[in-house]
């Protein structure tokens, strides 16, 4: 029997947001009957372009259903720019972790979201644009590379756990090995020089922490002066915000951003955060 967390069991037994939105703004479909799991995600945006409603239908095991349910809970209320940063680790963390063999369920969630957002934006991501590495499960090099990067994968077995690639006839194992070596070399080069770091945050944890800090530590002070602040986007360590109310015409807004907002975010979230004003 799998060692599922209580959160996984809860989201499997009481899945949130099951269904299909009629006339959705975006729809994403991944997986197939043959592969043993599939997910159809639909969402609708509100006038502020935030995800107002999101629903899923999933064919698959308990962890696939729980991952889909978790995904919908995570992205509700997010703008698409924020939602597209949700990683499979965020989904797994939300559930208190998944057995490693089942991590592909969280990846399926992330892929469905990506595909739904692309659908909304009118982009078409087709498998034909990439090389299919695993023919048994139709997994492309792009998907494998992304999984290696996001999850710091080291072995073919892990790649199989996360993407299913290599889980059938095993003929693609040498190709996967080459991909792992390539990607890990690139990752090694990109590594910044060692510096003291606090607990590594996942994207979603970071987004949440920034939101919380803005709401709890920063906005009240600005409101007291008749202003306000909105989070617009987050790109790596760059946080784009818009100052509202009185703050938007204030001459010292630049100073407010750098000395007040940035300092607070560095204190509560991460030392390398940079705050920029979002240009309309």
Partner 1 sequence: MRTVYVDNNATTRVAPEVLEAMMPYFSDYYGNPSSMHFFGGQVAKQVNEAREKVADLLGAEPSEIVFTSCGTESDNAAILGTLDSYPEKRHLITTRVEHPAVGNVSTYLSRKGYHVTELSVDREGRLDLDELRESFSDQTALVSTMYANNETGVIFPIEKIGEIVKEKGIPFHTDAVQTVGKIPINLKKSTIDMLSLSGHKLHSPKGIGVLYIRKGTKFSPFLIGGHQEKGRRGGTENVPYIIGLGKACELAKNHLEDENTRVKALRDYLEQKILEKIPNTLVNGDPVHRLPNTVSVSFEYVEGESILLLLSDLGICASSGSACTSGSLEPSHVLRAMGVPFTAAHGSIRFSLSIYNTKEEMDYIIGHLPPIIQRLRDISPFWYDYLKSQGKKSS
Neighbouring C-beta atoms of residue 186, cutoff 10 Å: 12
Contact yes or no for 164/139 (Cβ under 8 A): yes
Read off the tokens for 150. Answer: 């996001």
Q: Does 97 bind partner 1 (CB under 8 A)?
A: no
Q: Does 18 bind partner 1 (CB under 8 A)?
A: yes
Q: Does 164 bind partner 1 (CB under 8 A)?
A: yes
d(CA 15, CA 221): 39
Read off the tokens for 243. Answer: 């100052």
Q: Does 37 bind partner 1 (CB under 8 A)?
A: yes
| Interface region with partner 1, contact rule CB under 8 A, candidates 12-20, 118-126, 151-159, 177-185 | 12-20
115: enclosing H helix or E strand: helix 103-120
Q: Which is nearer to partner 1, 39 or 180 (CB)?
A: 39
Q: Which is nearer to partner 1, 24 or 227 (CB)?
A: 24
Q: Does 36 bind partner 1 (CB under 8 A)?
A: yes
Q: Does 245 bind partner 1 (CB under 8 A)?
A: no
Minimum separation from the CB atom of position 23 to partner 1 (A)? 16
The only residue of 101, 150, 211, 228 in contact with partner 1, by rule CB under 8 A: 101
Is 172 among the residues known to form the active site? no
The only residue of 33, 193, 194, 224 in contact with partner 1, by rule CB under 8 A: 33
The only residue of 21, 45, 62, 132 in contact with partner 1, by rule CB under 8 A: 62
Q: Does 59 bind partner 1 (CB under 8 A)?
A: yes
d(CA 200, CA 270): 9
Q: Does 29 bind partner 1 (CB under 8 A)?
A: yes
d(CA 203, CA 133): 28
The only residue of 26, 28, 167, 227 in contact with partner 1, by rule CB under 8 A: 167
Q: Which is nearer to partner 1, 12 or 120 (CB)?
A: 12
Residues in the chain: 280
The only residue of 51, 54, 65, 147 in contact with partner 1, by rule CB under 8 A: 65
Distances (CA, A) of 106 to 97, 157, 256: 10, 16, 39
DSSP state letter for 232: E
Is 105 among the residues known to form the active site? yes
Token look-up 């499997």 returns: 12
Contact yes or no for 106/98 (Cβ under 8 A): yes
User: In angstroms, how far is CA 139 from the centroid of its own chain?
Assistant: 20
- Describe the crossing of helices 156-163 and 173-190 by its angle, rounded to 10 degrees: 100
Minimum separation from the CB atom of position 99 to partner 1 (A)? 8
Read off the tokens for 87. Answer: 């990683």
Interface residues toward partner 1, by CB under 8 A: 2, 12-13, 15, 18, 20, 29, 33-40, 57-65, 101-102, 104, 136-137, 160, 164, 167-168
What positions carry a catalytic annotation? 35, 105
């Amino acid at each position: 029997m799998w060692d599922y967390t209580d959160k996984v069991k809860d989201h499997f037994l009481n899945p949130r947001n099951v269904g299909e939105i009629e006339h959705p703004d975006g729809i994403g479909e991944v997986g197939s009957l043959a592969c043993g799991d599939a997910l159809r995600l639909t969402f609708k945006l509100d006038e502020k372009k935030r995800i107002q409603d999101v629903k899923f239908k999933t064919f698959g095991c308990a962890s696939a259903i729980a991952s889909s349910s978790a995904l919908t809970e995570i992205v509700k209320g997010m703008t698409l720019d924020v939602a597209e940063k949700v990683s499979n680790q965020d989904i797994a963390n939300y559930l208190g972790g998944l057995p490693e063999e089942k991590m592909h369920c969280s990846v399926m969630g992330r892929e469905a979201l990506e595909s739904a957002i692309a659908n909304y934006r009118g982009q078409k991501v087709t498998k034909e644009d990439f090389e299919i590495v695993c023919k048994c499960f139709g997994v492309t090099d792009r998907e494998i590379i992304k999984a290696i990067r996001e999850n710091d994968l080291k072995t073919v077995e892990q790649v199989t756990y996360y993407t299913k690639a290599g889980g059938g006839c095993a003929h693609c194992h040498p190709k996967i090995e080459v991909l792992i070596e390539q990607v890990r070399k690139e990752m090694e080069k990109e590594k910044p020089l060692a510096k003291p770091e606090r607990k590594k945050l996942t994207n979603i944890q970071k987004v949440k922490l920034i939101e919380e800090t803005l709401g709890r530590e920063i906005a009240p002070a600005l409101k007291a002066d008749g202003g306000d602040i909105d989070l617009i986007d987050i790109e790596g360590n760059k946080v784009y915000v818009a100052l509202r109310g009185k703050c938007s015409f204030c001459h010292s807004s630049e100073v407010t951003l750098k000395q007040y907002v940035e300092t607070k975010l560095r204190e509560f979230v991460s030392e390398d955060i940079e705050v920029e004003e979002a240009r309309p």
